[in-house]
Amino acid sequence: MKLLIAVVQDQDAGPLMQRLVDQGFGATKLASTGGFLRQGNTTILIGLEDAQVDAAVECIRRTCRHRRQAAAGAGDVEVGAATIFVLRVDRFERI
C-alpha cells in the first residue's frame, strides 16, 4: 500500500480532483500555502495499492501545468505543476 502526496497549484486542484474521481481514486484535498511565492496551493492525499501509483501519477501529469508568474524582485519565474511524494504505508484502516 502507498500514500501519494501531491502538492499542486490551486488552479489545478479542481480539475485534478475531478480526474482522480473519474478514474476511481479516492482523494483528500487540503488547503496549503507555498513558501516561495507565499501563494495558496493544494495538497492532495491518495491511498493506493502499489499497482495504482503509475496511473495516479499520470492523472497528475495530464492535469497539472507549469506556469510563468511574476515574483517581486525576481521578474517572471516558472512555478511547478506538481510535487509528488510516494510513501510506503504499513497499515491502513477505514473506520
* Highest mean pLDDT pick, 2-6, 74-78, 88-92: 2-6
Confidence of residue 53 (pLDDT cuts 50, 70, 90): very high
Mean predicted confidence (pLDDT) in 71-88: 82
Is the confidence at residue 41, as pLDDT, over 80? yes
42's torsion region: left (phi>0), alpha (psi -120 to 50) or beta? beta
Complete domains list, the chain, with CATH = 2-88 (3.30.70.120)
The C-alpha atoms of residue 50 and residue 34 are separated, in whole angstroms, by 28
**Share of residues in the chain with pLDDT > 90 (%):** 63
Q: What is the dihedral of CA 47, 50, 51, 53, to 10 degrees?
A: 60
Q: Range with the lowest mean pLDDT among 7-16, 63-72, 86-95?
A: 63-72
Supply the pLDDT for residue 66.
83
pTM: 0.84
Supply the pLDDT for residue 37.
58
